[in-house]
Amino acid sequence: MDFQTKYREKLVSAEKAAELVRDGDWIDYCWTATTPKACDRALAQRMPSLKDIKLRGGILMHEPEIFKIEHPEEHLTWNSWHFGGIERKAAAKGYAFYAGFRYSEAPRYYYDSTDPLDVAFLMVSPMDAHGYFNFGPSCSHLRAVVETAKKVVVEVNPSMPVCLGTADNYVHIDEVDFVVEGFDEPLDAFPPAGEATEVDKKVADLVVRELTDGCCLQLGIGGMPNAIGKQIAESDLKDLGIHTEMYVDAMVELSKAGKITGKYKTIDRGMQTYAFAAGTPALYEFLDHNPECMAASVGYVNDARTIAQIDNFISINNAIDVDLYGQISAESSGYTHISGAGGQLDFVLGAYLSRGGKSFMCISSTFMDKKAGKMQSRIRPTLSAGSIVTDSRANAMYIVTEYGIANMKGRTTWQRAEDLIGIAHPDFRDELIREAEQMHIWRKSNKR
């Protein structure tokens, strides 16, 4: 039987596909920009008659229709691999929860899970002449989703870019149970990054000074990593490589500035390797059929053993708070859940294992506490109660604020305290010294 005949036999309406869902089922909703839409709308129509539906997904870029039903908490539970703003609101309403994990391990979680995956809804590109659909910018862990789901429904979106890469970014018609089509919608996109603040520029300047020609970059999500990417694009650096969890707009800018060749990468030479991408429409256009960009499983991209094979690997991420021990929180502020661990620890570990590698955790020295109505330090004596330790003190390397860089590796508690207080905002340094004394991590010999 030819592929087109198989396609037509499996073609159903979104409403028909939604009928697969039964009470108590575990459902997968894909990832980031490729979260399903047509099937979501159809499932939202059924959801009021269902109960105990457990869904997995992450970094929602639009609010699913299933969230908009009356009393969603009575019908569904959203289990997120990585929180964003939409999921924070759902968590506050009691029906969204976070799965704490290292992102590199996501595929194995599916293979080893004792929770069944009953139905997977996956947004894909149109089928090619060989019977393959492409996961677009969401390779990530979706191959594992397909291989473990009892039923696989692909939602075809003609606007989906075809992102070239490994076999992990494809699903064949023979592996699909149902095909849904009949809509063409632009992928969810982030707005263009705003202008970098003066603090962002100062931090970027400090980090860029530490980079060398031929190094390989990973940039995290957020304004500060984007500011660093922009500054690299405007620098004299050349022959850089890309090996990153998330492909972001700053990397498009770097590519168009001629900074990326990958000629010195010790694996995947010449390729820009990534696990998923999310950004502006310009980013999706850049990735579409681009042979220099390689989408691969997060189990490969984020594995510290993979990263360690790349010489001069540079990991650049941001955080919420850092304490005087060097513990880094990038997930919560006290009990307020903000984000997820993602692959931050994967890259912190991998960068240090790389020959010549470095990891940078970039933060502004202060933030405005709206509840308290005053400025607070991001460098704290200890993390506040409830704050999650994303990167332990043993794993931290360079911590950067607009006031300087502090290297945590091989430093004792008093050295860490001294160095971190030295890059804290001046208005908080005396208070931090007093706290460090009470914590017995401040030597009398270095007291001012």
One-letter-per-residue 3-state SS of the chain: CCHHHHHHHHEECHHHHHCCCCCCCEEECCCHHHCCCHHHHHHHHHHHHCCCEEEEECCCCCCCHHHHCCCHHHCEEEEECCCCHHHHHHHHCCCEEECCCCHHHHHHHHHHCCCCCCEEEEEECCCCCCCEEECCCCCCCHHHHHHHCCEEEEEECCCCCCCCECHHHEEEHHHCCEEECCCCCCCCCCCCCCCCCHHHHHHHHHHHCCCCCCCEEEECCCHHHHHHHHHHHCCCCCCEEEEEEEECHHHHHHHHCCCECCCCCCCCCCCEEEEEECCCHHHHHHHCCCCCEEECCHHHHCCHHHHCCCCCEEEEEECCEEECCCCEECCEECCEECCCCCCHHHHHHHHHHCCCCEEEEECCCEEEECCCCEEEECEECCCCCCCCCCECCCCCCEEEECCEEEECCCCCHHHHHHHHHHCCCHHHHHHHHHHHHHCCCCCHHHCC
How many angstroms separate the CA atoms of 246 and 344, rounded?
A: 11
Is 245 known to be catalytic? yes
End-to-end CA, the chain: 81
27 neighbors 56 (Cβ within 8 angstroms): yes
Query: Amino acid identity of 55?
Result: L
Which one of 87, 155, 181, 245 is the catalytic residue?
Answer: 245
**Residues known to be catalytic:** 245
